[in-house]
């Protein structure tokens, strides 16, 4: 969370011109890098401030993963104009956030990687921008990359605008070429410049000035900032009128109800942070406290004569997972927060700031159904909870099925895979098994670009298989398309698992003996318990194995034979991989230091009984 500077500026020093622009793109195309460079160049870094890369991706998870999770506002002064820039996340799970925050902008920078070209999320965000009537500037980024193809990518993007029904005016977009990483933007990719001023000038020349609307106050709360000290801070663009600190206002809720309230503190964006102000003018983007229990989409309006603004669309969750307390034999060994009360409080607290998340009670006080926008959206919460010291268990992720006109419908996604030509048939096989339909197959540089339509169910767990089949070379991206009638059963995980019979420490000798039965997820010395999943079986059924037995030391040469052991390194799952791996009768056990897989029923007889029961149903 950027630091708030408590400078009391009387008024925004520059009352004349404001430009509001959102920067949108597919994941990893370089948005945050570009915004950082713009900030850098507009000289916002005082000498003692860290000037490392990607200062904007400021929470731990964002930094570690190199992705943006939350949209962020920054602001620079350039040639006497204030430019508010909204950096958005590129991952499909956060697409709803992009659509929403775009409401605060009068134009967008569409960033496209000069090698990859338009990807599924490029199409999605551009579609939203075009429909919302925004003017765009195309930035073809990463032209420093070898094998990049800026001209071809430019033509592809033009076709995309055309196919998305852009107006004549929108089709007439300016194009800027450059390298965010190297910090330059230019009209021509063959002639690098030394800075990003060409882009800033293009913004000033092409993005309309924020209109100054006279009249009573109207701000729609579009996003929120969260501070552990202040709590929730509303963020929105002043559509009409001016806003002042301590001003009495009326809040028009989504359902039309009106709530009297008062603005407390008021901030505008400045560089990476915010500054406290006494008033802010029409067209600017501001943040404020004082409105109790606000919701996204609420309009903050005149105290006497409130006028609401049209409600905005908020994305529905697409996936759910059962979160339950840890009841494995190792519960409480690692975490600080382990009870159902802890879990409940933490999940409901999350709802205050996580806009696309929902939590539902189940029949049991130990379990909650958590609804989110996809695996990444849910895993970000889980990873955060681990770091805070929680232990919990997760059930298999489920896509949300809808009944439409009496017919069972499921979410369908567009999936693109870029892969070396020789691996393309393997990818097509894997995707077809999961009810994917091939739409397009064409060359892209020295790769083959393949596009499919596939049920969301089929994508869960697919990435791992595709990467294995292509020696890690495939680049995959997917994006929700629509709900369509149920496509029928999809084969689940093909392999069975190896399940531990005993409690204790895994022994190298025993693991070694079982290596022909499958691949292990544990290594010697790891503590395991009965019912824990310790490997993948080479056959489709599950196998209970004992890996806690030491070799019987019958003679002195025993240690010599141990030297011959060549244990294949264990398969280490990331959190997301674990979430995608498990089946309906399994859990992922999460603690601050461990990710373990287990059967829900730890005891073999019970497992069999419950399995038969399920089959009978």
Ligand X SMILES: Nc1nc2c(ncn2[C@@H]2O[C@H](COP(=O)(O)OP(=O)(O)OP(=O)(O)O)[C@@H](O)[C@H]2O)c(=O)[nH]1
- Residues interacting with ligand X, by CB under 6 A? 25, 27-33, 54, 66-68, 89-91, 141-142, 144-145, 179-181
Residue 108 beta carbon to ligand X: minimum distance, rounded to whole angstroms: 14
448 binds Mg ion per the rule CB under 5 A: no
Helix, strand, or coil (residue 170): helix
Q: Tell me the closest approach of the beta carbon of residue 470 to ligand X, in angstroms.
A: 21
Select from 12, 32, 121, 424 the one that contacts Mg ion (CB under 5 A). 32
Nearer to Mg ion (CB atom), residue 53 or residue 188: 53
Binding at 458: pick from ligand X, Mg ion, none (beta carbon under 5-8 Å per type):
none
Stretch that binds Mg ion, among 63-71, 224-232, 519-527, 606-614 (CB under 5 A): 63-71
Q: Return the SS3 of 229.
A: coil
Strand, helix or coil at 341? helix
d(Cα 512, Cα 535) in Å, to the nearest integer? 13
> What whole-number distance in Å separates Cα of residue 140 and Cα of residue 135?
16
- What tokens appear for 501 in the block? 């019979």
Distance CA 178, CA 431 (A): 36
Q: Which stretch binds Mg ion (CB under 5 A): 31-39, 76-84, 361-369, 467-475?
A: 31-39
Residue nearest to ligand X (CB): 90
CA-CA distance, 149 to 83, in Å (whole number)? 30
CB of 34 to Mg ion, least distance (A): 9
**Complex with ligand X: residue 5 or 145, whichever CB lies closer:** 145
Q: Which of these segments, 68-76, 345-353, 408-416, 462-470, binds Mg ion (CB under 5 A)?
A: 68-76
Q: Which residues pair with 240 in a beta bridge?
A: 218
Q: How far is the CB of 179 from ligand X (least distance, A)?
A: 4
Q: Could you tell me the smallest distance in angstroms from the CB atom of residue 471 to ligand X?
A: 22
**Which of residues 99 and 391 has its CB atom nearest to ligand X in the complex?**
99
Which is closer to ligand X, CB of 93 or CB of 391? Answer: 93
By a kind-dependent CB cut-off of 5 to 8 A, residue 141 interacts, out of ligand X, Mg ion, none, with ligand X
Using the minimum distance from each CB to ligand X, give the nearer residue, 97 or 391.
Answer: 97
CA pair distance 112, 176, nearest whole angstrom: 10
Helices (H), 404-470: 424-433, 456-459, 462-469
CB 180 within 8 A of CB 153: no
Q: Which does 391 bind (CB under 5 to 8 A by kind): Mg ion, ligand X, none?
A: none
The size of the chain, in residues, is 617
CA nearest 203: which of 25, 41, 78? 78
User: Distance between CA 546 and CA 4 in Å, rounded?
Assistant: 57
Burial code (b: 16+ CB inside 10 Å, e: under 16) for 54-65 equals ebbbeeeebeee
Per rule CB under 5 A, is residue 180 in the interface with Mg ion?
A: no
* In the complex, least distance from residue 67 CB atom to ligand X, rounded to whole angstroms: 3
Name the DSSP letter for residue 593: S
Rounded Cα gap, residues 342 and 356, in angstroms: 22
Q: Which is nearer to ligand X, 180 or 470 (CB)?
A: 180
Q: Quick one: what does residue 72 bind among Mg ion, ligand X, none, with the CB cut-off 5 to 8 Å set by partner type?
A: none
Query: Minimum distance between the CB of residue 71 and Mg ion, rounded to whole angstroms?
Result: 9
Q: Is 68 in the site for Mg ion (CB under 5 A)?
A: yes
Total binding residues toward Mg ion, as defined by CB under 5 A: 3
CB of 88 to Mg ion, least distance (A): 8
Smallest distance from the beta carbon of 35 to ligand X, in angstroms?
8
Burial class (CB in 10 A: 0-12, 13-18, 19+), 429: exposed
Q: How far is CA 424 from the centre of its chain?
A: 27
- Residue 367 near which of ligand X, Mg ion, none (CB within 5-8 Å, type-dependent): none
CB 11 within 8 A of CB 279: yes
Binding residues (CB under 5 A) for Mg ion: these are 31-32, 68
């Amino acid at each position: 969370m950027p630091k708030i500077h408590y400078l009391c500026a009387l008024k925004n020093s520059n009352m004349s011109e404001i430009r509001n622009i959102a920067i949108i793109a597919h994941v990893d195309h370089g948005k945050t890098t570009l915004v950082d460079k713009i900030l850098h160049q507009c000289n916002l870094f005082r000498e003692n401030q860290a000037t490392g890369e990607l200062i904007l991706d400021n929470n731990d998870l964002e930094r570690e993963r190199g992705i943006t999770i939350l949209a962020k506002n920054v602001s620079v002064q350039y040639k006497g104009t204030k430019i508010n820039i909204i950096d958005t996340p590129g991952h499909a799970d956060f697409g709803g956030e992009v659509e929403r925050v775009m409401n605060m902008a009068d134009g967008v920078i569409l960033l496209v990687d000069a090698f990859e070209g338009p990807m599924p999320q490029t199409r999605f965000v551009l579609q939203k921008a075009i429909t919302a009537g925004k003017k765009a500037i195309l930035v073809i980024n990463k032209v420093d990359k070898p094998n990049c193809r800026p001209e071809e990518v430019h033509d592809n993007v033009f076709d995309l605008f055309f196919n998305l029904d852009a107006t004549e005016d929108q089709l007439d977009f300016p194009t800027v070429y450059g390298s965010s990483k190297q910090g330059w933007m230019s009209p021509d990719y063959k002639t690098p410049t030394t800075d990003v001023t060409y882009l800033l000038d293009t913004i000033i020349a092409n993005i309309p000035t924020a209109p100054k609307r006279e009249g009573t106050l109207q701000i729609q709360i579009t996003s929120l900032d969260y501070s552990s000290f202040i709590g929730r801070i509303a963020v929105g663009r002043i559509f009409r009128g001016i806003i002042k600190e301590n001003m009495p206002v009326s809040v028009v809720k989504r359902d039309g109800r009106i709530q009297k309230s008062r603005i407390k503190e008021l901030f505008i964006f400045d560089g990476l942070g915010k500054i406290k102000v006494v008033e802010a003018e029409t067209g600017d983007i501001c943040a404020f406290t004082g409105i109790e229990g606000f919701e996204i989409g609420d309009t903050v309006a005149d105290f006497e004569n409130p006028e609401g603004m049209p409600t905005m669309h908020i994305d529905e969750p697409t996936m759910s997972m059962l979160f339950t307390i840890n009841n494995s034999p190792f519960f409480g060994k690692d975490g600080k927060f382990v009870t159902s009360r802890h879990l409940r409080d933490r999940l409901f607290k999350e709802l205050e700031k996580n806009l696309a998340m929902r939590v539902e009670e189940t029949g049991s006080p130990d379990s909650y159904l958590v609804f989110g926008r996809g695996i990444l959206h849910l895993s970000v919460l889980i990873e955060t909870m681990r770091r805070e010291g929680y232990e919990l268990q997760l059930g298999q992720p489920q896509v949300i099925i809808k009944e439409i006109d009496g017919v069972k419908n499921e979410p369908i996604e567009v999936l693109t895979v870029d892969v070396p030509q020789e691996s393309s048939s393997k990818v097509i096989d894997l995707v077809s098994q999961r009810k994917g339909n091939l739409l397009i197959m064409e060359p892209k540089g020295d790769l083959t670009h393949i596009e499919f339509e596939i049920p969301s169910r089929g994508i869960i767990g697919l990435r791992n298989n595709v990467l294995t089949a292509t020696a890690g070379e495939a680049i995959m991206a997917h994006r929700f398309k629509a709900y369509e009638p149920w496509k029928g059963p999809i084969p689940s995980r093909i392999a069975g698992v190896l399940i531990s019979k005993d409690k204790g420490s895994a022994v190298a000798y025993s693991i070694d003996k079982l290596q022909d039965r499958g691949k292990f997820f544990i290594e010697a010395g790891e503590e395991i318990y009965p019912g824990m999943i310790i490997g993948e079986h080479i056959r489709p059924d599950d196998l209970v194995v004992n890996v806690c037995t030491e070799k019987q030391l019958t003679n002195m040469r025993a240690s010599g034979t141990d030297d011959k052991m060549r244990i294949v390194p264990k398969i280490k799952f990331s959190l997301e991989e674990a979430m995608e791996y498990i089946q309906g009768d399994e859990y992922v056990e999460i603690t601050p230091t461990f990710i373990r897989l287990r059967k829900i029923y730890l005891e073999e007889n019970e497992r069999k009984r419950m399995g038969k029961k399920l089959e009978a149903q």
